């Protein structure tokens, strides 16, 4: 999991140094202009140019998928994240284009990808991080990028992305209403902000329903749950702790610091309010976290420049260790932002695989319902033509055909085993 995130960080650095995507954008723009101006928009030449770009952009696709390496779809999504982050669109200016035109050119590159669904899944994951961590250049530019994708590939690609932006717009208004009610009731012990998200729009995240959050957070959490469900009778509130952040006031011998941490890190830190050291096994039991998550969060609080906690006795970090507060902790800054550990992959391959499986099955049923009777090779070809967002393996299509026969959607012709008939 962490390896994938680390690989994406290396790709971002390599893209920044090589200017690879900027050069692709310039090449695409040059050849599109040549076809449009020099050859008067010749359809034959434009098809040849399209085919050539698709061939080299997707050249190593099969090898990348086989070896679990980043494909061009992932690389372009990673680069797009860099562009849409704060300060990222300076790349467009350096490339000699205005911001709006540069986003449109990136989407033009996207249209040449075979695995468009993979691009969208990685893009969605990074979009969620930009929006929730307030790292986006602007919501308007996010909407603009999504609108370009929608114009080129249709609304089925952008439904979830648009839902994410709409969620945040609605959440802003909901937060204002909730805070207005709180102000009329008096002050709380902690400053508490909530963002309501529709689970079907956003990526799924690692979570712990039994996580023992600090007691000081329980009253505001219960208060908000009652407030929201009182206005939305048929909706269930589920807390997604992995997306949260907190500012904790840490009092040390030198002075007091504001520690900006993730929710899991905050839960760990708050365990040391009453004691200076805790056995790791006891900490795990108190927090109800798994070993992997707990150790990753502890490591993020023990970095060389941010050594808030330490392992006592010089022992390695394991379940038998004793964790203590670093009494000598200091920093030249009053406000310290701790890096949050990576707990899961940037995107979930299972989600992409499941979506593809459903799409292949739906395409087969749709085609057979229309044609009623079709040969094996013709059906394979029509399915490949119908699916524009990815290119399934013929063996995968054949497997889905067999499953549909078992479920009585299709049957083989008794006189010709390569001929299928629609039943349902």
Q: What is the pLDDT of residues 63-102, one digit of tens each?
A: 655 556 778 899 999 999 999 998 877 755 665 567 888 8
Instruction: Pinpoint the alpha helices (H) of 241-288.
Output: 263-270, 280-287
Structure tokens at 100: 């709006």
- Structure confidence at residue 1 (pLDDT): 40
Q: How far is CA 79 from CA 154, 164, 343, in A?
A: 22, 20, 22
Q: How far apart are CA 121 and CA 347, in angstroms?
A: 7
pLDDT in the model for residue 2: 44
The predicted structure's pLDDT at residue 180: 82
Domains of the chain: 2-153 (1.20.1310.10), 169-240 (no CATH), 244-337 (3.30.230.130), 349-422 (1.10.10.10)
Decide: 277 and 312 in contact? Cβ < 8 Å.
yes
Q: CA-to-CA distance for 159 and 188, rounded, in angstroms?
A: 38
**Smallest Cα–Cα separation from 211: which of 113, 286, 130, 141?**
286
Percent of the chain with pLDDT over 90: 42
Cut 0.75: pTM above it: yes
Residue 302 — pLDDT band, cuts 50, 70, 90? very high
194-242 pLDDT per residue, tens: 888 888 899 888 777 788 999 999 988 998 888 888 888 788 888 888 8
What does the pLDDT read at residue 67? Answer: 56
Q: Which two structure tokens, joined as six digits, stand for 49?
A: 């140019």
pLDDT confidence bin for 255, thresholds 50/70/90: confident
Long-range pairs of 52-59 with CB within 8 A, sequence gap ≥ 24: 53/28, 53/112, 54/112, 54/114, 57/24, 57/109, 57/112, 57/113, 58/112, 58/113, 58/114, 58/115
Residue 252: half-sphere exposure toward Cβ, Cα within 13 Å: 18
- Which class for 65: exposed (0-12), middle (13-18), buried (19 or more C-beta within 10 A)? middle
Instruction: Find all residues with CB under 8 Å of 74, minimum gap 6, and list them.
Output: 8, 11, 118, 119, 122
């Amino acid at each position: 999991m962490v390896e994938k995130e680390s690989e994406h960080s290396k790709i971002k650095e390599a893209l920044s140094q090589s200017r690879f995507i900027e050069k692709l954008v310039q090449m695409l723009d040059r050849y599109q202009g040549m076809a449009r101006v020099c050859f008067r928009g010749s359809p034959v030449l434009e098809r040849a140019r399209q085919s050539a770009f698709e061939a080299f952009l997707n050249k190593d696709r099969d090898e990348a998928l086989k070896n679990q390496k980043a494909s061009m779809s992932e690389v372009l999504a990673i680069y797009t994240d860099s562009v849409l982050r704060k300060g990222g669109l300076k790349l467009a200016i350096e490339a000699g284009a205005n911001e709006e035109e540069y986003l449109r050119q990136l989407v033009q590159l996207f249209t040449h990808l075979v695995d468009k669904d993979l691009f969208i899944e990685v893009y969605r994951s990074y979009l969620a991080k930009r929006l929730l961590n307030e790292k986006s250049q602007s919501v308007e530019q996010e909407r603009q990028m999504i609108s370009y994708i929608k114009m080129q590939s249709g609304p089925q690609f952008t439904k979830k992305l648009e839902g994410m932006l709409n969620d945040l717009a609605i959440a802003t208004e909901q937060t204002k209403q909730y805070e207005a009610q709180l102000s009329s009731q008096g002050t709380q012990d902690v400053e508490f902000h909530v963002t309501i998200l529709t689970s079907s729009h956003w990526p799924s995240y690692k979570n712990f329903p039994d996580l023992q959050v600090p007691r000081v957070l329980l009253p505001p959490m219960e208060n908000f749950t009652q407030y929201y469900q009182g206005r939305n009778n048929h909706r269930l509130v589920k807390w997604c702790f992995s997306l949260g952040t907190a500012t904790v006031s840490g009092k040390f011998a030198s002075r007091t610091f504001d520690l900006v941490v993730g929710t899991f890190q905050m839960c760990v830190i708050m365990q040391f309010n009453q004691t200076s050291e805790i056995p790791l096994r006891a900490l795990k039991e108190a927090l109800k976290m798994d070993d992997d998550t707990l150790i990753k969060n502890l490591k993020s609080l023990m970095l060389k420049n941010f050594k808030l906690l330490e392992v006592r006795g010089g022992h390695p970090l394991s379940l038998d260790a004793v964790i203590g507060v670093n009494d000598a902790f200091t920093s030249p800054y009053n406000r310290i932002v701790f890096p949050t550990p990576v707990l899961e992959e940037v995107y979930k391959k299972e989600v992409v695989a499941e979506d593809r499986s459903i799409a292949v099955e739906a395409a087969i049923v749709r085609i057979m319902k229309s044609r009623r009777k079709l040969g094996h090779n013709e059906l394979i070809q029509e399915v490949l033509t119908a699916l524009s967002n990815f290119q399934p393996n013929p063996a995968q299509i054949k497997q889905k055909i067999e499953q549909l026969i078992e479920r009585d959607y299709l049957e083989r012709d008794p006189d010709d085993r390569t001929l299928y008939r629609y039943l349902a």
